[in-house]
Structure 1
Amino acid sequence: MLVDYRDQKQAADLLALLDEYARDPFGGGEPLPDICHRELVERLAAFPGAFSVIAYRGEQPLGLANCFMGFSTFLCKPLVNIHDVVVSDAARGQGVCTRLLEKVAQEARERGCAKITLEVLEKNHPARAAYRKCGFRPYALDEEYGQAEFWQRYL
Structure 2
Amino acid sequence: MNRQPASAITVRRADYTDPLHQAALVMLLDAYASDPAGGGEPLSAFARAHLVPELAARPQAYSVLAFDGEAPVGLVNCIEGFSTFACRPLVNVHDVAVLASHRGHAIAEQMLALAEIIARERGAVKMTLEVLSGNAPAIKLYQRIGYAGYQLDPAMGTAQFFQKLLPPAPGSE
Q: 1:38 aligns with which of 42, 46, 49?
A: 49
What does residue 107 of structure 2 align with? 96
Counterpart-to-counterpart distance in 2, 1:14 and 1:67: 13
- Identity of aligned pairs, percent? 49
Instruction: Compute the displacement of 1:139 (Å).
Output: 2.1
Q: CA deviation at 1:27?
A: 0.6
1:53 positional shift: 0.5
Q: Root-mean-square deviation (CA), in Å?
A: 1.0
Partner of 1:153: 164
Q: Look up the equivalent residue of 1:137 and give its one-letter code.
A: A
1:14 corresponds to which residue? 25
8 Å contact kept, 1:101–1:134:
no
Judge conservation of contact 1:3–1:10 (CA < 8 Å) in 2.
yes
Task: Give CA deviations for 1:41-83 in whole Å, capped at 9, x if unaligned.
Answer: 0111002301100012221212111111111111111111111
Q: Deviations over 1:79-118 (max 9, x none)?
A: 1111111011111110001101100110011111111000
| Counterpart Cα distance in 2 of 1:143 and 1:55 | 38
Give 1:50's aligned residue.
Answer: 61
Unmatched 5+ stretches in structure 1? none
Q: TM-score, normalised by structure 2?
A: 0.87
Letter of the aligned partner of 1:126 in structure 2? Answer: P
| Matching residue within 132, 137, 144 for 1:126 | 137
Matching residue's letter, 2:50: E
> CA separation in 2, counterparts of 1:90 and 1:35?
27
Aligned length: 155
- Could you list the structure 1 runs, at least 4 aligned residues long, displaced by more than 3 angstroms after superposition: none
Unaligned runs of 5+ in 2: 1-11, 167-173
- Name the amino acid aligned to 1:4: D
**Structure 1, 15-24 or 135-144: larger mean CA deviation:** 135-144
Name the structure 1 match of 2:79.
68
Secondary structure of the 1:63 match is: strand
Partner Cα distance (1:143, 1:104) in 2: 30
Task: State the TM-score, normalizing by the size of structure 1.
Answer: 0.96
Q: Is the aligned partner of 1:116 residue 2:127?
A: yes
Tell me, yes or no, if the aligned pair for 1:44 and 1:50 is still in contact at 8 Å: yes
SS at 1:22 equivalent: helix
